[in-house]
Amino acid sequence: MNILYHHRTQGHGAEGVHISAIVRGFRKRGHNVVLCSPPGIHPFQNEGGYVYGDGVSPTARLWKALSRHAPQIIFEIMEIAYNLVRRRALARIIDAGRFDFIYERHAFFLWVTASLARRRKIPFLLEVNEVTGIPRARPLLLRPLAAWIEKWVLSRASLIFTVSSYLKERITSLGVDPGKVIVLPNGVDEKMFSPAQDGSDVRAAHGLVGKQVVGFVGWIDPWDNLPGLLEAFGELASGRPDLRLLLVGDVAGKGVRRDFVAEHVERLKLDGRVVHLPCVPREQMPRHIAAMDVCVIPDSNPFGSPVVLFEFMASGKAVAAPSVAPVEDVVVSGINGIVFKNGDGAALRESLRRIIEDKPLRERLGRSARESVEREHTWGHKAGAVLAGFAGLPQKGDRP
């Protein structure tokens, strides 16, 4: 088959990982994929990169600067203008490609691809990672317009893939047929992240040999609740001299100062107990996770499927994670991880304590987590589910 994958993102961080992995998954199944990105954006080069560095091209750095510093109203007007600026180029690509279907990563104010697919009578498959009206780091000023466009696009999609059950509920509440909305959480490269990875060099480099290590990975954003994690860790560490906390990820959230972690470590008197590594290339991430005994996600938003959850699980680690829908779609507490009440510091601390103190539990959770990934959460599974969904649609001769 010929597939067009279109997105309007900066192609970095988790979004770059997701885009690249789905494209690879289609191609490994023998399909031709044309990846259509904004000018200067290269997800295969940028995947995972936002947390650990700048874009690889001047154009990518320009998009990043505009995203961070342009007034919000100007940024949203630029998003709307994208439809007009890119329409002709997209039309040429679609007309030349004879595509069996178009797959798009949903973005606010983006309607041009859905419109072209409808005119050309090409099935339009939409991946939805967020919708209007949900809490997010970046505000949405033209929300009524974004919601109207979004509803129009959703109503015209042949199939919709959401990364969480929460998003499915939000979408179907708009009157969209639940039968065409499929929950498909994020996934992982099970070969890159595996229990076979060796983290001994990371432990040796950072004074963690012989220590019990609790680990967190991700860019440090206000919703990650690092203060809550540090406080819970501090209480646990007071009676455990060999306990350490390894934080891997840059401080990238708006409103979070660069010395955010150091300030909290000093306030809680955790000097020497916390190792913070802000700039780790993605290819080294498996070794850093391998250096952890226990992995934790202290908080997460209610709609997005955290890629790092699957990387922890694929690495065979016992994970403590909050009770938000995207986590509970994947983790069965006590079976392949521990789910604690979101926003409850005592529950976070108790979950970590259980895993730290009970080695057989820790090992059992880690094995089950890896088995869960192998069974249903590799990127290959995700690409296969999209293709199966397409195969179930009425074929051209059967469409009304």
Which residue ranges make up each domain of the chain? 2-187+379-398, 200-375
**pLDDT for position 54:** 47
What pTM value is reported for the model? 0.92
pLDDT digits (tens, 9 = 90+) for 255-306: 566 677 888 889 989 999 999 998 888 899 999 999 999 999 999 999 999 9
Going residue by residue through the chain (400 aa), what tens digit of pLDDT does each one get? Answer: 999 999 998 877 788 899 999 999 999 999 999 999 998 888 887 665 543 344 455 655 666 666 666 788 998 999 999 999 999 999 999 999 999 999 999 999 999 999 999 999 999 999 999 999 987 767 899 999 999 999 999 999 999 999 999 999 999 999 999 999 999 999 999 999 999 999 999 999 999 999 999 999 987 776 678 889 999 999 999 989 999 999 998 876 555 666 778 888 899 899 999 999 988 888 999 999 999 999 999 999 999 999 999 999 999 999 999 999 999 999 999 999 999 999 999 999 999 999 999 999 999 999 999 999 999 999 999 999 999 999 999 876 454 4
| Cβ count within 10 A of residue 238 | 12
Residue pair 311/190 in contact (Cβ under 8 Å)? The answer is: no
**pLDDT for position 55:** 47
Residue 322's beta-bridge partner residues?
340
Instruction: Give the SS3 label for residue 272.
Output: coil
Q: Which CATH class is domain 2-187+379-398?
A: alpha beta
Retrieve residue 1's tokens.
Answer: 């088959």
Residue pair 253/137 in contact (Cβ under 8 Å)? The answer is: yes
Q: 200-375: what fold?
A: Rossmann fold (3.40.50)
End-to-end CA distance of the chain: 22
- In the DSSP assignment, the letter for residue 281 is -
Residue pair 79/108 in contact (Cβ under 8 Å)? The answer is: yes
Instruction: Give the SS3 label for residue 220.
Output: strand
Retrieve residue 264's tokens.
Answer: 């909290």
**pLDDT for position 41:** 84
**pLDDT for position 219:** 78
- Longest Cα separation, the chain: 70
Same fold, 2-187+379-398 and 200-375: yes
| Cβ count within 10 A of residue 73 | 10
Instruction: Give the SS3 label for residue 337.
Output: strand
